[in-house]
Amino acid sequence: MADGRTPGFATRAVHAGQEPDPETGAVVPPIHLATTFRQDAVGETRGYEYSRTDNPTRRRLEACLASLEGAQHCVAFASGLAATTTLLLLLEPGDHVVFTDDVYGGTFRLFDAVLRRFSLTFTAVDATDTGAVDAACTDRTRLVWLESPTNPLLRVVDIGAVAERAHERGATVCVDSTFASPVLQRPLELGADVVLHSTTKYLGGHSDVVGGAVLTSDDGIAERLRFHQNAVGAVPSPFDCWLLLRGLRTLELRVRRQCDSASTIARWLREHPRVQRVHYPGLDDHPGHTLAARQMHGAYGGVVSFEVESGDLARNVLRRLRIFALAESLGAVESLAESPAMMTHASVPEEQRRKVGVGDGLIRLSIGVEDVDDLIGDLDQALDA
């Protein structure tokens, strides 16, 4: 900026990596769909050779995401799970991973049903207990995998404290920060080494693009990730990168609105006679509230989970919702509702689900940007089922 000040978050969301097209002045940079780039002579490129390796639209996206997360490097992928897979491919057979026990179901399935076959070992722990993470680390532990807030119970992990212990044990710490987005939480500032996003969620924000990203300020990790991004090839299309850039421009506005509405809805649900329990870190009786207030930037996210008496009642409520769409995913402009036990977390074995508290009566809401009174009215009529 002219006065030397670093531009604020919302300014960077609109401008970082998105400078007007130098050739035409177009304020929306073009999408570069080309798969290959002409070389001036053998080995003499203008910065690009082949779009799996690098692409101008993808580079713009990576620059914007890195700026928002406060990272030196961003590597973009075709989905959140493609990002997770490629990151885990940096490990060696026999390496051990400690992970938080209510991770996203697809992450659990990747660890348990795929990567175990390649001789990686995994231990699930309640990462809200820093001592439990420490106790689970062995001399083969290379990675500690956290989510915060967790999915679907919105538990809050002390990222700084876990990172300190993990580093003493020689492990790298990765935080899947999808639920918070960089508007609310920046794990690298808290001591984590790597941040992962399913950009399908808040970053895209419109339920029209699947993507993922890994961010770090560690040059060594970034270099190996870039090699694997190209070698493994799970890259996003230029059009998907462009859609993500379009979504990022309004990220801050959307997330602030979603947080305000989520907080209002959580308080309303807490008073409803058919609701047994509400999980939302913004509620002052939530066990992670104080930590979230310290670790997150002034708001607590757009996801609220609540429990009703039984799976049958949850099914009925979900069937009756009219504005909330019964659908997986979260973080977009439209409000969504789902049953973690029967939908997003069905791939987690029932015993493990019960152990962490994901019962059949649990409903997860992703709050969109609609009028909050309409959303409350919808929940009210559905809970009357």
Ligand X SMILES: Cc1ncc(COP(=O)(O)O)c(C=O)c1O
Where does this chain touch ligand X (CB under 6 A) — which range of 77-85, 285-293, 361-369, 377-385?
A: 77-85
Specify whether 355 is catalytic: no
Contact with ligand X (CB under 6 A) among 210, 214, 221, 275: 210
Q: Which two tokens stand for residue 347?
A: 């791939």
When the beta carbons of 158 and 176 are compared against ligand X, the nearer one is 176
When the beta carbons of 275 and 358 are compared against ligand X, the nearer one is 358
Query: Collapsing DSSP states into helix, strand and coil, what is residue 161?
Result: helix
Contact with ligand X (CB under 6 A) among 104, 111, 242, 280: 104
- Residue of 54, 134, 176, 193 marked catalytic: 176
3-state helix, strand, coil in the chain (%, to 5): 40, 15, 45
- Looking at residues 163 to 202 of the shown chain, list those that interact with ligand X (rule: CB under 6 A): 176, 178-179, 198, 200
Q: Which two tokens stand for residue 48?
A: 């690009």
Residue 143 touches ligand X, criterion: CB under 6 A:
no
What is the distance between the alpha carbons of residues 188 and 199, in angstroms, rounded to a whole number? 17
When the beta carbons of 190 and 213 are compared against ligand X, the nearer one is 213
What is the distance between the alpha carbons of residues 156 and 151, in angstroms, rounded to a whole number? 10
- Nearest C-alpha neighbor of 166 from the set 189, 188, 145: 145
Specify whether 374 is catalytic: no
When the beta carbons of 329 and 347 are compared against ligand X, the nearer one is 329
- Looking at residues 323 to 382 of the shown chain, list those that interact with ligand X (rule: CB under 6 A): 329
Smallest distance from the beta carbon of 310 to ligand X, in angstroms? 25
Smallest distance from the beta carbon of 176 to ligand X, in angstroms? 5
Smallest distance from the beta carbon of 104 to ligand X, in angstroms? 4
Q: List Cβ neighbours of 212 (8 Å cut-off, separation of 6 or more).
A: 76, 77, 78, 79, 80, 81, 82, 83, 84, 196, 197, 198, 199, 200, 236
Q: Which two tokens stand for residue 310?
A: 């039984």
Specify whether 126 is catalytic: no
Angle between helices 56-69 and 238-248 (to 10 degrees): 30
What is the distance between the alpha carbons of residues 190 and 177, in angstroms, rounded to a whole number? 12
Residue 18 touches ligand X, criterion: CB under 6 A:
no
Contact with ligand X (CB under 6 A) among 212, 247, 282, 301: 212
Smallest distance from the beta carbon of 256 to ligand X, in angstroms? 20
- Cβ–Cβ < 8 Å for 87, 142: no
- Residue of 52, 226, 256, 270 marked catalytic: 52
Residue 80 touches ligand X, criterion: CB under 6 A:
yes
Q: List Cβ neighbours of 36 (8 Å cut-off, separation of 6 or more).
A: 49, 50, 51
When the beta carbons of 210 and 243 are compared against ligand X, the nearer one is 210
Residue 99 DSSP label: E
Specify whether 201 is catalytic: yes
Residues that bind ligand X (CB under 6 A): 79-81, 104, 106-107, 147, 151, 176, 178-179, 198, 200, 210, 212, 329
Q: Which residues are catalytic?
A: 52, 104, 176, 201
